Structure 1
């Protein structure tokens, strides 16, 4: 079966369980995003990682291992060593898994984290009691007024910048708070191809994935690069690791497949459980196919504030 046939069959199975028009009409705002993370607090731990590493693993050998979920933390660690960094900020710190891991390994370095979700931040605050050098706070990454100019050696964000509709504002704030020579590390998903080249089913699938993940839209690679160019930050490196996240995505695909292969039972589940949880099945089912088709991409981007 080729990928277009695979996508067609998946959409048919989704239509047998969900009201597609209802999914597409979903309005996403900050309150919905907060509710999404609150409702998925336990499911994330059950279905993904009990260590709170709720990210895509970067499986460079093609086989998923729990250790692959630490790729972002290891990347930050590399820059801590190369820059001699003493102060690090994580945007959308969530449950704090990455920063807590790093704080334990680097007790003489101060780690800060902000997140808009109180339910997510609760776990981070509990972790902070076990690491005196980790300081998570409630906050919006568009507004970093609490931090001084030139304060941080490293800022990083994992799979959360995609929720911003004002990335230019975020980039401006990051430029302000980074020290000259400091870096901004981004792990995130994007629309890879221009929409004009997509089939109707690819467009439908991409939008369904976004709604399932409580997203309005994934930005295109080209659009984000333009915003970087317009900021004062420069691209230190950019790595497309789409093929390396497929093993993680296929875990979600297998879970979703159980649901869609039992449509009668699935309809009952969908009626009983909140959409903030059940819509995840749509995203998990479709993501690996769109990655393989080259419609979507997962990229590690390192931006740098030039030295004065």
Structure 2
């Protein structure tokens, strides 16, 4: 695959646009569903929770969140206008019932008041954080005391084998994420690494190791 094609894949993964972006959104939802569910399950969602997700893609997984408990409110933030529109369309019933709320943000500042959420999660976005320490402190700010943050990501050992990750991506091992968390006020209360077979973005079946870190305010 040519460098330009690899760069285009990386760019679409970071910020889906156009028809290719819709395809990428669908593929990301399918490929990442086990990671997403793992993150959601580690939130231990309860009735009355307000939940925030950063970088939800097409948000085809939101139904799974409401399977945990119907009496919650879900808020999604996305940098991609296209994924924002797709998410609203796919989840139009939850949106019309005022159970799910989608907004666009620029990736550094979270447009909500202090102590707004019980739970926050994000899957496969950490590679694209522009200012990781600032974003972590923003998440800390909008979480209620004892609130939970789940960060789920594919391990650097796997990601560096993918040719497109040389563009746009900052790769992370568990140790590197833990070092980042040490600079914040969060405390790590659990971590789990799993390995699954997935079809890579270029078509082959590969073993992917991913980790969910569970943090508490």
Q: TM-score, normalised by structure 2?
A: 0.81
1:92 aligned residue (44, 50, 55): 55
Distance 2:83 2:185 in 1: 32
Structure 1: 5+ residue runs without aligned partners? 1-17, 59-68, 193-201, 254-279, 292-296
Instruction: Give the paired residue count.
Output: 214
SS of the equivalent of 2:23 reads helix
Q: CA offsets per residue over residues 258-285 of structure 1, 9 Å max, x none?
A: xxxxxxxxxxxxxxxxxxxxxx31xx54
1:301 aligned residue (184, 188, 213): 213
Which residue of structure 2 lines up, in the alignment, with residue 151 of structure 1? 116
Bigger relative contact order, structure 1 or 2, given CA contacts below 8 A and separation 6+? 1
Contact 1:150 1:180 in 2 (8 A): yes
2:72 aligned residue (93, 101, 109): 109
Distance 2:132 2:20 in 1: 26
Say which structure is richer in strand.
Answer: 2
Aligned-residue offset at 1:39 = 1.2
2:191 aligned residue (238, 241, 244): 238
Are the structure 2 counterparts of residues 114 and 304 from structure 1 closer, same or farther at C-alpha, using a change threshold of 3 Å? same
Structure 2: 5+ residue runs without aligned partners? none
Distance 2:192 2:23 in 1: 32
Contact 1:100 1:127 in 2 (8 A): no
Are the structure 2 counterparts of residues 129 and 105 from structure 1 closer, same or farther at C-alpha, using a change threshold of 3 Å? farther
1:42 aligned residue (23, 28, 42): 23
1:140 partnered with 2:106: yes
